Structure 1
Amino acid sequence: MGRPPLHQQPNALLAHWMRRSRTSNQQLARLVTERGAAQGITGLGTDESRVRAWLKGAVPREPVPRLIVEVLGARSGWDLTLADVGLPGDDEAIGPRTPWTRAAAVAVLNQITRSHMMLPDTRTGPEAAQVLTGDQLLTPLHEWTLVRPDPYEPARGNGRRVGMSGVEGIRDITSTFRDLDNRHGGVLAPSAVLAQTHVVLSHLKAASYTDAVGAALFSAAGDLAGVAGWMLFDAGHHAPAQRTFVAALHAAAEGGDQRLGAHLLQCMARQMSHLGHVEDALDLVALAQYGARRQLSPAGTSMLAALEARFQAILGQVRDSETAVSRALDAFEHVNPADEDPHLAFFDEPELRATLGIAHQIAATHLDKGPARTRHVRISADLVGAALAARPEHRQRSRAFDHLGLARTHLAGGEVEGAAEETKLCLEMLGTVRSRRVADRLGELYAEAAPVADTPPGQELRERIHSHLATAG
């Protein structure tokens, strides 16, 4: 029949895909046997009782899991994986097709905390190619805008009762990990955050709590998992980061927290842009803006508009970028930090200036040399310089990005010596900051400086970057 898990849990994902494909227990048993026979596999003996056992959490032996995926995939019209139906043996742990239910939210959070995430960390490697893009990513995520949390049962679990003080403890831990990430980058601690997420899962699965506490628990779990996803992204583990963001989005939806959901979607948008999928990034921003349109705070509205400005600039849509810049500035005028959520604490005035400054810097690269390009370069230098001057000391990675942004702005304006100096300052900070994103951006600057490689400052800039990247590992 198969091996039972040590802590057997009902397979909510298998049940979902059976319902969605309109497949009964008896039908699944028969179809698995027939598909196996067609492939020369005999002696399976699959029957309705075994399907009931799988739904309770038993794991069938090979090749039955593969046959289950093939049967349900054919009947539903989806290209499913083992993980989509809640079975082990597939590295693609979580995808956007995961059903938007409470049981599935717990299941996907459980999967990410048990995953091994020591994978290659370059944007051009095979691991980065595993991220979902286009309709594969965006079509299922649109269901996020329609989710209504499942009704809570009067009593949950037989364990201890969890109250709001327990939720506040989770939020305090999340804040600590956020601060660690800001100070030192995401390379050091994603496993620790995932381990803490697993502890939170024990509350969701075994404790009892009221409706209000249950919603807050799911929201807190989603926020904590989002920090883990961000650290994985910053460390260059792109496919695990995407799966973790999706799992966090499911938890946020189950907690009814649309503002957190919008925040997680903007994290995913930044990752898509970093990997070169800029149109997908814009679509994710639009989905966040629409899905949380009645709940967004002024900081959330401003942040999404600022990102939109940057992504439009990358696509060369300079006028649309400038329009989004104006919307970001208008919304930020209404920000009261005391009224904003903890996950938006990073989006202060320096962060706004830096984001808009980079949008102007990118816009300048799409313009011929002349007054318009000079104007964008000047605005970029003013904004990013002001951001750097006002950054809190603990935002070390952001400060490194600011120096890097200034280097690229100087280069866009033909100030090669200024670019070399800012690059030097950025590299001096990387002894305490370990971030694959910073390293990737340095690689871009190295390529952008190729036309000035025959000048002393251009040669110095490229040699410094080459030396750092060759030894950073």
Structure 2
Amino acid sequence: MTADALPNNVIRGVREVQFRMSREEFARLVNTTAAATGENTGCTARLVAAWERGEVTSPRPVYERVLHELTGRGLAELGFRPRRTATETAVRLPQLAHPNDPYTRKADDTDVERRALLRDGVGSVTSVALGLNGPQSSGRRMGMREVRSVVASTMALYAHDHDHGSAVMRREATKALHTSYEWLNHGHFTQATGRLLRSATGALSIAAGWLSFDSGQHADARSLYNEALAAARLAQDPELEAHSFGCLSLLAKASGRPREAVAAAQAARSVAGPLGSPRMHALFAMREAGGWALIGDRSACDAAIIDAHAYYAKGPRENDPAWLEFFTPAELAGLEALCRADLGQHERAAYGAEQAVLLHGEAFARNRALYVADIAVQNAVRDRPDLDAAVDAANKVLTFVPEVKSRRLLNALREVEAALQRHAKAPLASEWLDKHRALTIDSA
């Protein structure tokens, strides 16, 4: 950054908050959008960094047009120096904007949608993004407005899921996905826009699949993940393809198919290799380790865990996709703890789960709840049971139930109950079991 350059936090916020993309991803989006509108650009992560650092105060006209297409905002609204005087802008704006065109986006539409999410929750945001305000698909040309809407709905689903679980959102996800497929199947769009829309729909399929997985609907999740995989290949989107394989690996392990879990994780690692995201590779290495642990192959599991830690230690990269935000050091520790549990290494599993909860802090309520449950189970079943630690953790799990609606959490509570049932004659365990039986917990 030059000495007199002022950082452009507005354009950085657009990338990180509105689109939740790395610089590399945002540069690719700029280029694809340009191609969809008949422009020719060569945007790179370095150029995006120059915008954000304030080294470029006024992008070239071609980028001004593309950024307006992407965001619906002018240069000043994106934190840049306007190219024209206020008088000239007032004269020319009517020629640039088409208020009667249903596909012209008002400058503050995205902010309105984001505020609607924070105020009304995920149901409102999906109806705003994909429903009542969306154009009819039949006979209409699709553009970046529709792509943005699908991305916004996916973001809304993930944001709500991290803290509250999946049960309340599956219906909204299904509605959003139906609308997105309507646009794909019946809308008119350029080839470049079609690829963007298909990639965005694939990412929405993964989000919907995750909600089904978390609700215990494994058959639905498998179908949705396979739809995402097909969308990735049709759109030639390797990141989406790798993500799809990674999700299929997780699902296979949870469904008791460890060899399939290993194969899918290895496919994810192969596709992710050239993408320049060590942490994405680390996640898929840990997915592979989970499969090996369930098989009982300690040597292969340890090798995959070592790989995961080595890749994770390389640190974050600009190429890290936004959906990877959940893969924190806490999650790395937690996933290893699950492997240790499947290998019968209960003391190490309990320690790892404790580390995961500690590192999570107050974030990701559902994942914290699951790891607290693991602490209870592993301390109850270890060779030398620690009932004080087990019951303390079991009591903490119960505090999550009112807010976190997740079938996986209910299943985890059943595992806690089964583990403490071994010690039913001990007063501590007996008291917790009585408390648990007295609760009426609705199925997720």
Corresponding position: 1:436 with 2:436? no
Residue 464 of structure 1 deviates from its aligned partner by 4.2
- Greater shift after overlay, 272-281 or 176-185? 272-281
Matched AA of 1:181: D
Superposition map of 1:373-452 within 5 A: 373=345, 377=347, 379-391=348-360, 393-413=362-382, 414-452=385-423
Residue 199 of structure 1 deviates from its aligned partner by 2.0
Aligned to 1:197: 177
- Greater shift after overlay, 440-449 or 222-231? 440-449
Matched AA of 1:455: A
TM norm structure 1: 0.60
Are the structure 2 counterparts of residues 431 and 298 from structure 1 closer, same or farther at C-alpha, using a change threshold of 3 Å?
Answer: same
Gap regions ≥5 residues in structure 2: 1-136
Superposition map of 1:146-225 within 5 A: 158-163=139-144, 165-225=145-205
Aligned to 1:61: none
1:243-270 CA deviation, whole Å, 9 max, x = no partner? 1221122112212122222222222222
Corresponding position: 1:455 with 2:436? no
Aligned to 2:339: 359
1:173-223 CA deviation, whole Å, 9 max, x = no partner? 211110111111111111111211222223323333333322221111011
Preserved contact between residue 212 and residue 218 of structure 2 (Cα < 8 Å): yes
Residue 467 of structure 1 deviates from its aligned partner by 4.3
TM norm structure 2: 0.63
Residue 392 of structure 1 deviates from its aligned partner by 5.6
Preserved contact between residue 350 and residue 386 of structure 1 (Cα < 8 Å): yes
Aligned to 1:246: 226
Distance 2:271 2:316 in 1: 22
Are the structure 2 counterparts of residues 430 and 263 from structure 1 closer, same or farther at C-alpha, using a change threshold of 3 Å?
Answer: same
Preserved contact between residue 162 and residue 207 of structure 1 (Cα < 8 Å): no
Are the structure 2 counterparts of residues 383 and 471 from structure 1 closer, same or farther at C-alpha, using a change threshold of 3 Å?
Answer: closer
Preserved contact between residue 259 and residue 296 of structure 1 (Cα < 8 Å): no
Are the structure 2 counterparts of residues 334 and 167 from structure 1 closer, same or farther at C-alpha, using a change threshold of 3 Å?
Answer: farther
Are the structure 2 counterparts of residues 283 and 381 from structure 1 closer, same or farther at C-alpha, using a change threshold of 3 Å?
Answer: same
1:293-313 CA deviation, whole Å, 9 max, x = no partner? 433621221111112222322
Preserved contact between residue 228 and residue 240 of structure 2 (Cα < 8 Å): no
Q: CA RMSD in A?
A: 2.4
Instruction: Name the SS of the counterpart of 1:309 in structure 2.
Output: helix
Residue 394 of structure 1 deviates from its aligned partner by 4.4
Are the structure 2 counterparts of residues 280 and 465 from structure 1 closer, same or farther at C-alpha, using a change threshold of 3 Å?
Answer: farther
1:12-60 CA deviation, whole Å, 9 max, x = no partner? xxxxxxxxxxxxxxxxxxxxxxxxxxxxxxxxxxxxxxxxxxxxxxxxx
Gap regions ≥5 residues in structure 1: 1-155, 366-372
Preserved contact between residue 277 and residue 316 of structure 2 (Cα < 8 Å): no
Matched AA of 1:193: A
Distance 2:293 2:277 in 1: 24
Preserved contact between residue 376 and residue 394 of structure 2 (Cα < 8 Å): yes
- How many correspondences in the alignment? 305
Distance 1:286 1:385 in 2: 29
Aligned to 1:326: 306
Preserved contact between residue 162 and residue 203 of structure 1 (Cα < 8 Å): no
Preserved contact between residue 333 and residue 355 of structure 2 (Cα < 8 Å): yes
Are the structure 2 counterparts of residues 317 and 456 from structure 1 closer, same or farther at C-alpha, using a change threshold of 3 Å?
Answer: farther
Distance 2:258 2:398 in 1: 27
Aligned to 1:339: 319
